[in-house]
Chain A
Amino acid sequence: MLLNGIIPHILGGELEGKVIVDGQDVSQSKVQNMAHSVGLLFQDPEWMFATLQVEDEVAFGPENLRQPAQEITAQVTRSLEYVGMNHLRKNLVWALSGGQIQKLGLAAVLAMAPEIIVLDEPTANLDPATTHAVHELILRLRGEGRTIILVTKDLDEFMAQADHMILLSEGCVLAQGTPRSVITEHGSIMLDLGVWLPDPTEIGLRLKQQGFLKNKSIPITVAEAVAVLQDIRFKENPPGQKEPVIGETLIHAENVQFGYTRKTKTLRGVSFDIRQGEIVAIVGQNGAGKSTLSKMLVGLLKPSSGNLTMFGRKASQWNVQDLANDVALVFQNPEHQFLCDTVHEELAYSLLAQGISDPEEVGKRVKAMLERLNITDSAETHPFSLSAGSKRRLGVATMLVGGRARLLIVDEPTYGQDRRLTERLMELINNLRAEGITVIMITHDMRLVDAYVDRAIVMANGEKIFDGPPRELFQSPDIVERASLRITALRRIVDGLRAAGTQVPGGLNIVDSFVAAVDYV
């Protein structure tokens, strides 16, 4: 925001030193005037749209800059063609999918022909294949000579492509240079900071820390990793495969259908079982019916036809309030669930809702939960002012503090969280499972699916197209493609090594187990 003058002009604050963009001192020129040089794309472009129609939205910027109408019309067509959305130009902006919204945001920026484009987490909530498509678009722009500044946690595709990388921590520049030099010199610091590094890089760094890969450089792509690790030897006794969980059936769905309107069906005939003690992931592209399914499982929606049985009772006989005792849903935005003014009250509310009203008992349980979440200090804080990670964990806690929930549904656990926070959340979820709670995760994060899940249910266009362990999912390229998923970089490294003739044991689904299984190089 400093780059286009929003800081200091709009957000205020004191600025020391000088920022010069395209020859202009930012503190001396107005935000609007910087619009010619710098284009900015925010994380959630839905809120940046000022109009209703796709073509009007692209024209909005150039109109503000007083360009003649004819020129703008040509420019709008060019920009929309560039992102491949010209056929949608008469559409309404809120009828677009997540990926289309991002592309429209990019087209709107492009129409102003800025020399520098700043992108703030442009793919934070997109499915893996759409993320890839947006990344390709960004790289194409760079190839055409534009300067791209990308703020991101998702380094996978950019590590090998970026020209310059700046590592920030607590407001200071820790390191900068080419990605390769930053990784080589500061890689271990990045690991310690909890930066999500691409799997090839993380494996390289960890092996190096253990004294392997002495004279080799740290790989930053899958191909490099395969080349570097080719003569690796693995230990004889690799970690075993996960056993399928065979517990009591909690949820039984048979040919479940649902549509928000009469014409379009969001779910068309889905059947599955959820068993006691499982961790199940529901994956698939944006709009495949995942959220609809989760709302159905907490009783907010009822199937329009088909048979859905939950805890031995038909879905139609449950009401939301009663079901809330057995099923807990943590929304993507945990703030939506908060009802009280302090963290303590929030937890107490959940206990009261389950009929636990003895003040001593309530106090005891709340205290135990606060300790478990490591937020005892924040007991009197307003839930809205917690950090993103604590909000998420409080969201889980309000759902579980009563101790009666048997099924926990988490919508996109990694959204807006860095690696360390995600790991803490997953640790919490794993502990819950150990206590016998069944967990359903809805996610786009393939690493998470591969690392933590017993079973993945893949949705595409309202139908279930796969139901089985992640290992089998990632061995079915056609399903991965149909559901807009991507195979994790770790899987691709393992596949590459096997293709090169290296013996790789099965079950290496996380970097930890991969590194632990390495015997010598």
Chain B
Amino acid sequence: MSENTLQYIDNNSIVHRADALSKLAWVLIVVIFTFQFQSAAARGIMLASLLILAIVFARVPLAAILRASPLIFGVALLLGIFHLLITPGETILFSFGPLTATQEGLTKGLEFFFRLAIMVMASFMLIWTTDIRELMVGLVHLGIPYRYAFAVFMALRFLPIVQQEVDAVKAAHAIRGRASSSPIRHRFRLWQRYLFTVIVNGLRKAESTALAIESRGFGAYPDRTYVKEFRWTATGILLMLLFLSLGIFLVFWERQGI
């Protein structure tokens, strides 16, 4: 079976052992700070810290990060370039036909690139290192009714299967050959079809999943028991505090030039 980008990586690192709620809070902290930062330097440091955390501490294989990089960096780069080219400004860096890149555009482009890359990277870290079941139990621990907590994470549970489906459809389409001479029209048609096929099959299967879990008593009672209870962990809290301090330091550093 080929490896998926959107699934839990089972390697029991120190980050894996941290509790799910702390990691969820950690993602929120990272995202909030990303919007507070004003300089590319601060954002860059944050992104670098995330990568170090992923590679050194969570032991996420480089191959997994590379496979996910179109989603992490690719989309962010497109957004960045878009802003680079449409932001009006006075200092012109270069022109390319009707498109002009300005100093202001470069700043703006970098800002958007880093924001998106950081947010996606942090979310990926959560997916890679967290058993979604723990996350659900954690949310229930916070007082959220289990049916809602569970619904959110069923979605995450099925991401890898949906991805497999997309891969299968892609492969099947590739061997059908190409009917239109324009490659762009062909691409467009294929994308339309991926969506259609994946959604139709996804809905069918989601229905059978709903039936299956209901037939196993899901929702029979307003509450349920848990074999594995939620526990806060020291590593989780440490992770939160570490990034909280890093964020605060960077904000002060930017503003006062310490």
Could you list which residues of chain A lie within 8 angstroms of chain B, going by C-beta atoms?
Answer: 1, 4, 6, 10, 30-36, 38-40, 42, 44-53, 55-56, 59-69, 72-73, 76, 92, 94, 108-109, 112, 260-261, 295, 298-300, 320-321, 323-325, 327-329, 331, 333, 335-339, 349-350, 352-354, 384, 398
- Can you list 22 pairs linking A and B with CB atoms under 8 Å apart? A31-B214, A35-B217, A35-B220, A44-B208, A48-B208, A50-B150, A51-B157, A52-B133, A52-B157, A53-B131, A56-B228, A69-B225, A72-B227, A94-B7, A261-B3, A298-B175, A320-B175, A335-B197, A336-B168, A338-B193, A349-B176, A353-B177
Q: Are A338 and B220 closer than 8 Å at their CB atoms?
A: no
CA of A61 to CA of B225, assembled, Å: 10
Q: Which 7 A-B pairs have the closest CB atoms?
A: A32-B220, A353-B177, A48-B212, A64-B217, A352-B179, A336-B172, A35-B217
A40 partner residues in chain B, CB cutoff 8 A:
212, 215
Provide the residues of chain A in CB contact with B132, threshold 8 Å. Answer: 51-52
Within 218-237 of B, Cβ neighbours of A (below 8 Å) are at 218-221, 223-229
* Known interface pairs A52-B132, A92-B10, A339-B193; A321-B219 also in contact (CB < 8 Å): no
Q: Are B3 and A260 in contact (CB under 8 A)?
A: yes
8 Å CB contact of A33 from B205, B212, B220, B226: B220
B156-182 with Cβ < 8 A to chain A: 157, 160-161, 168-169, 171-180
Whether the pair A6, B214 counts as a contact (CB closer than 8 A) is yes
User: Which residue of chain B is the closest to A11 with respect to CB atoms?
Assistant: B211
What's the least CB distance linking B138 to chain A, in Å?
14
The answer to whether the Cβ of B2 comes within 8 Å of any Cβ in the partner chain is yes
How far does the Cβ of B17 sit from chain A's closest Cβ, in whole Å? 14
B1 at the interface (CB under 8 A from A): yes
Contacts of B10 in A (CB 8 A): 92
B201 at the interface (CB under 8 A from A): yes
Question: Is there contact, CB below 8 Å, between B225 and A72?
Answer: yes
Min CB–CB distance A339 → chain B (angstroms): 5
As a 0/1 sequence over residues 100 to 130 of chain B, the CB contacts with chain A under 8 angstroms (1 = contact) are: 0000000000000000000000000000000
Distance, CA A337 to CA B150, complexed state (A):
34
Q: Does B200 contact A (CB under 8 A)?
A: yes
* Interface residues in chain B, defined as those with a beta carbon under 8 Å from any beta carbon in chain A: 1-3, 7-8, 10, 131-133, 150, 154, 157, 160-161, 168-169, 171-180, 189-190, 193, 197, 200-201, 205, 208-221, 223-229
- Interchain CB contact under 8 A, B224 and A10: no
Q: How far is the CA of A325 from the CA of B216 in the complex (A)?
A: 48
Asked if B216 and A112 make an inter-chain contact with CB atoms under 8 angstroms apart, the answer reads yes
A4 and B218 contact, CB distance less than 8 A: no
Among candidates B168, B214, B217, residue contacting A10 with C-beta atoms closer than 8 Å: B214
Closest A residue to B229 using CB positions: A69
* Bound form: Cα–Cα A63–B215 in Å: 13
- Contact (Cβ within 8 A) B174 A320: yes
Q: Check A64 against B224 for contact (C-beta < 8 Å).
A: yes
Which of B180, B209, B221 sits near A48, CB closer than 8 Å?
B209
The answer to whether A65 touches B217, judged by C-beta atoms less than 8 angstroms apart, is: yes
Closest A residue to B196 by beta carbon equals A384
> B214: which A residues are within 8 A, CB to CB?
6, 10, 31-32
Residues A337 and B176 in contact in the complex (CB < 8 Å), given A66-B223, A260-B2 = yes
The answer to whether A32 and B227 touch across the interface, beta carbons within 8 angstroms, is no
B21 to chain A minimum Cβ distance, whole angstroms, is 17
Q: Enumerate chain A residues within 8 angstroms of B218, measured Cβ to Cβ.
A: 32, 50, 60, 64
Chain A positions within 8 Å of B208 at CB level: 42, 44, 47-48
* Interface-centre pick from B3, B179, B214, B217 (highest chain A CB count, 10 A): B217
Nearest-CB distance from B153 to chain A (Å)? 9
